[in-house]
Structure 1
């Protein structure tokens, strides 16, 4: 189901005066009273499931990389299995993913017996080195994303700890605060002392080329293509069979007609309960999801930024109220906000260049799985060969026994 700007305008202009009054009354009603029943979208849920296995492996790799010298005794890692939510023993994990680590023996203390240690494999190290190249090539994109996150915030300042917490969602390298931020003093300034909640990243200068949302860019491109000025507006995209009440459809129609408010515009004068603030909140959430790698972010993570982006405490209701723009998945017991327009079925339509980092890791895992399957195949063939040899030997012995018996009977 798609709401087009032209069809909305024609329907709105054809309305009678009484309809206009009724619509105005709807707008004055509390936004919180507008309810849409949540409905499961299996294909978008599947999109979350698709990368579940490699994310688990990435957690284990991260655990080893964070160790001094990037090595760890196997038994130490085994003790952390519950925290890592790893459903199998480390030995089993290693056998299933043979390309990630090398196992060797070393002493934890000088006079102790040697025990198994894990270290990064050569193949994994190649992937990590390749990731550095990808980050370097896409540094302008990372800088633009970081500027945009600051430019949307109330005072162009965001907690450094919170930015570190969302680095995976936006594709920032692990050391972006240490190695990338200082390279751009015209854009960024790290203020405050290190420690939980005590340091902040501040925007030094406003770059107008970053102050244009994905929705505005899309309207500009469409205008240039058609030669007709297109007003920025969100796309509505509901799966077939998804129905909403008539009253809600009318509210959505008229809400879509209201002027778009850029997430980069000053919203300090907006009342928190106003329709303008609702419009702005939808714009900010749309932009945040558009900037993310997978066009989806867990709702609890978004909730950490309520102060910076002036979200209300009940901001998550926006995802169901505007269910043609967003989908809120409950997969894995975690609420995840997803951008509907970014997906076709369970596949991303436009892939972020930084996704190559994750793609390389997935390829490495697939290489290991093929290696393991080949090894298992060789083992099965060896067992089958041994069984065939035993069978042939037994058959030969049986033939000899029969031959001897026949000779005895004949004599």
Structure 2
């Protein structure tokens, strides 16, 4: 409840805090380095569950991309089995294929003309239909994808990002696999590829600054509120602590004071700001808020964010921001990987701020579930068939025993 009403933090309250700081200089929280402000991490089971629930989808997606990247989109089953550890599969490939029958077809073929036939894996007809649907969804949302890419470049200090890094985060933001080949060249007014194609030497540069794109989610939210109510509010973070979460008084006071600072857009130049200042902290939180808001699932692994420390001016201890502001972010440790999550984007474990590109995931999950249902139906029929055979065998054994008993009885009668 404390931080749901931060916007009514009054001038009188600030005056009282100022008086306290004069009486007791140790009370002046501005004098304390930000790095010394600690908040104990606390697990959020609901947000952890959101990550765990998407695990089957992500694993299946990895295997599909592995096959699609092969020449002809086919691969010997044993080759795929050798990559199981890299794909983080905890079952054999044959077991995975049986559990997900809608994704692939298995057939016999030769690796070499005179070699023995071996099992190959290829994309199923239903998966090909999904891939066509994926192209349609991407085409319908191409403008949104372009704006996302522009925003990532506009937040960078030199309006330039490494191509390798962008490729590494394409899944986080919903960029198509071929966005550098089939999308970027179509927008020469926004993008320019510079440098040789060698690894680490190619960059994507912003050509034109679009003021419409230079508006953060928080600023847009304030404008939408003004349009609805006619009341102009200051752009600021929505801060809500999870139930049962407690902050020490010193930290509560610091956060209240920090929230009263003017919002700093992630799209403005901050080269003049001290890296250790509260204003830079406000800007850094703003960048993370914007990056997570632009991501598909409103969450990004912390190591991936760390790759952009130089471009977005993150400090070496940037990950502490996520635990220092538990009313804005949550840092999950699920799966042994630190993942930064935007708390306001979720209600319990459900994502409420849905990206338009999530329709692709919905279609893929639908395909998976169809395969799972078919497998369950096949297993049910197999169980019924086994049960039926057992009954027939039992009846057959009973008839045999009856005939033998009759023959024995007849023999006794003859005697």
TM interval, shorter chain, is over 0.9
Q: Can you give the 5+ residue segments of structure 2 that lack an aligned partner in the other structure?
A: none
- 8 Å CA contact 2:50–2:349 kept in 1: the answer is yes
Of 390-399 and 83-92, deviating more is 390-399
1:27 corresponds to which residue? 30
Deviation at 1:279, TM superposition (A): 0.5
2:109 corresponds to which residue? 106
1:4 corresponds to which residue? 5
**Distance (Å, rounded) in 1 between the aligned partners of 2:12 and 2:59:** 50
SS in 1 for 2:85: helix
**Distance (Å, rounded) in 2 between the aligned partners of 1:7 and 1:142:** 37
Are residues 291 and 64 of structure 1, via their aligned partners in 2, closer, same or farther at CA, if it must alter by over 3 Å? same
Is 2:188 the partner of 1:185? yes
- 8 Å CA contact 1:233–1:260 kept in 2: the answer is yes
- 8 Å CA contact 1:150–1:158 kept in 2: the answer is yes
Deviation at 1:8, TM superposition (A): 2.0
Deviation at 1:13, TM superposition (A): 4.8
Match of 1:387 among 386, 390, 396: 390
2:141 corresponds to which residue? 138
Deviation at 1:223, TM superposition (A): 1.7
Are residues 329 and 17 of structure 1, via their aligned partners in 2, closer, same or farther at CA, if it must alter by over 3 Å? closer
Matches within 5 A, 1:254-265: 254-265=257-268
Q: For 1:359-395, what per-residue CA distance to the aligned partner results, in whole angstroms no more than 9, with x for missing partners?
A: 2111111111111111111111111111111111222
Is 2:364 the partner of 1:355? no
Are residues 11 and 330 of structure 1, via their aligned partners in 2, closer, same or farther at CA, if it must alter by over 3 Å? farther
Is 2:177 the partner of 1:156? no
1:117 corresponds to which residue? 120
**Distance (Å, rounded) in 2 between the aligned partners of 1:6 and 1:130:** 45
1:229 corresponds to which residue? 232
1:96 corresponds to which residue? 99
- 8 Å CA contact 1:157–1:203 kept in 2: the answer is yes
Q: For 1:298-322, what per-residue CA distance to the aligned partner results, in whole angstroms no more than 9, with x for missing partners?
A: 0000000011100001000100111
Are residues 321 and 310 of structure 1, via their aligned partners in 2, closer, same or farther at CA, if it must alter by over 3 Å? same
Match of 2:371 among 347, 368, 372: 368
> TM-score, normalised on structure 2?
0.95
Is 2:325 the partner of 1:322? yes
1:300 corresponds to which residue? 303
Matches within 5 A, 1:244-283: 244-283=247-286
- 8 Å CA contact 1:23–1:254 kept in 2: the answer is no
**Distance (Å, rounded) in 1 between the aligned partners of 2:47 and 2:213:** 29
1:66 corresponds to which residue? 69
> TM-score, normalised on structure 1?
0.96
Q: For 1:163-188, what per-residue CA distance to the aligned partner results, in whole angstroms no more than 9, with x for missing partners?
A: 11000000000010111011111111
Are residues 16 and 307 of structure 1, via their aligned partners in 2, closer, same or farther at CA, if it must alter by over 3 Å? closer
SS in 2 for 1:136: helix
Q: For 1:313-356, what per-residue CA distance to the aligned partner results, in whole angstroms no more than 9, with x for missing partners?
A: 10001001111100000111100000000000111012111011
Q: For 1:34-81, what per-residue CA distance to the aligned partner results, in whole angstroms no more than 9, with x for missing partners?
A: 000000111101110011112111111111111111111111111111
Match of 1:195 among 192, 195, 198: 198
**Distance (Å, rounded) in 1 between the aligned partners of 2:362 and 2:253:** 43
- Greater relative contact order (CA < 8 Å, ≥ 6 in sequence): 1
1:82 corresponds to which residue? 85
Number of matched pairs: 411
Deviation at 1:110, TM superposition (A): 1.2
Deviation at 1:224, TM superposition (A): 1.9
SS in 2 for 1:116: strand
**Distance (Å, rounded) in 1 between the aligned partners of 2:12 and 2:180:** 51
Match of 2:349 among 326, 346, 350: 346
- 8 Å CA contact 2:6–2:256 kept in 1: the answer is no
**Distance (Å, rounded) in 1 between the aligned partners of 2:276 and 2:17:** 28
Deviation at 1:405, TM superposition (A): 5.3
Calculate the aligned-residue CA RMSD, in Å.
1.7
Match of 1:211 among 209, 214, 219: 214
Q: For 1:274-298, what per-residue CA distance to the aligned partner results, in whole angstroms no more than 9, with x for missing partners?
A: 1111110000000000000000000
Q: For 1:253-287, what per-residue CA distance to the aligned partner results, in whole angstroms no more than 9, with x for missing partners?
A: 01001110000111111111111111100000000
Of 391-400 and 106-115, deviating more is 391-400
**Distance (Å, rounded) in 1 between the aligned partners of 2:44 and 2:26:** 30
